[in-house]
Structure formats: structure tokens, C-alpha cells
Amino acid sequence: MTTTFITGANKGLGLETARRLVELGHTVVLGARDPLRGATAAADLGVRFVRIDVTDDDSVSAAAADVERHEGHVDVLVNNAGVAGTHGVDPADLTGADVLDVLDVNVAGVVRTTTAFLPLLRRSADPVIVNVSSGMGSLEHTHDPSRPESQVVAPAYTASKAALTMLTTQYARAFPDIRVNAADPGYTATDLNAHTGPQTVREGTDAVVGLATEGPGHGSGRFVDRHGETTWS
């Protein structure tokens, strides 16, 4: 049975990913920062909850140690936790602290979690990392007038997702024994955008679930949308 750990899984894309993977037979460990919301979400799905704050080294290390004690290994790591930051704020008012706050979760948080969980992933016969990125970080998408990504101005968030996609390609090269890819959920109705996206949360998790379940023989370092198409930022 496939053991999967998901960060930021108490709501939105993370919760729906957990729900779908449970339905597909995965042993899901639900990671979240908020202990009450995380425990409630895990109880609803019938899975185990592990608290993890991806901005805190000690919390991430403790989460990995907890999973090691109980599950012993991880087959799939889904780095889903993310924040929008100062979305909608006039860029003229943007501060360095604003940007660092977003990068701390969306990029450094992925680094912390990946580093801590690498030993557990390497105990798997088919280790997989799925980083939940965004077309908002794609140079191609944000320059295409036909796409909604081109209509949004959100410097901190878009920069963080561009960095995450590049981080994914670098990890794919650095860890040839692990299949590392990035998922583009598309414009999905979640708390992150005040539920303005036209896609349902199930549609938004298509790419994540696809990458988490595709099995051996597929490439690494890809940026995949919900239709299974690979694009490059």
C-alpha cells in the first residue's frame, strides 16, 4: 500500500487530494499547521494527523520523526502548503518582509520538508515528490493574454511559484532516484483566491493526483496541468 504525506491538507486542494488518494487506496498522513483543523479533517477522512509548520525547522523535523515511528517510510510526498501573501495589495506598497513571508512558506517550506523526508522517501521502491506550483509562476502563462494568469498582479506569490517550479527541476536532477514533478492546479476556487476560481477543487487536484499515482516509467522535472499536459515556465 502506498504511504503518502501531504502538507497543508486540512482544507482546499490539500484536503481534496487527501480524500481522493484515500479513495484510491493510499495510506494518507494528513499534515497541517493548525492542530484542531488538522485533527478534524483527518478524523473526517479516517486518516492519521501529524502537525507540521513548514516555516519551522523543529516542527518539520518532528513531523518526519513521527512518520518514521508510525509508518516507517513515505512513498509520496505532496508539498501542498502555500500562502497567497499580499495578493491584491498595490505593488508600490510591497515590502521585503511581505515577500520573505511568502517565500518562507512556498519555497523554503518545501526545502525544509523535502530535506527532512528524504530518508523516508528513499526507503520506498518508487519514491515520488509532487510540488503544488501554479501557472501564476509561469512566464509563458502570464504573458498569454488568453489566460487568466496574465490578468493578475501578485508579485510575491507569482515569484514564489516560479521559484518553486525551478526548485522542482533542480531536485529532479539532484535526486535521480526520486520522481520529482510540479503540478499546476489551474484557477481553482479555494480560500487562497476567495473562491473566485472557475474550477472546482476536484478539478484543481487532477494534476496532483495524477502525478501521485502515475507509477514508474514516467519522467521527472515536469510541470503538469490538470489535463496531464506538460508545459515549461
Per DSSP, what are the bridge partners of residue 225?
A: 184
What is the strand order of the sheet 179-184 is part of?
48-51, 27-32, 3-6, 76-79, 128-132, 179-184, 223-225, 230-231
Q: Report whether 201 contacts 190 (CB < 8 A).
A: yes
Residue type, 215: G
Q: Establish whether 187 is a catalytic residue.
A: no
In terms of residues, how long is the chain?
233
65: enclosing H helix or E strand: helix 57-70
Nearest to 109 by CA among 128, 82, 76, 85: 82
Q: Establish whether 171 is a catalytic residue.
A: no
Four-residue CA torsion sign, 50, 52, 58, 64 = positive
Instruction: Indicate the SS3 state at residue 110.
Output: helix
Catalytically annotated residues: 157, 161
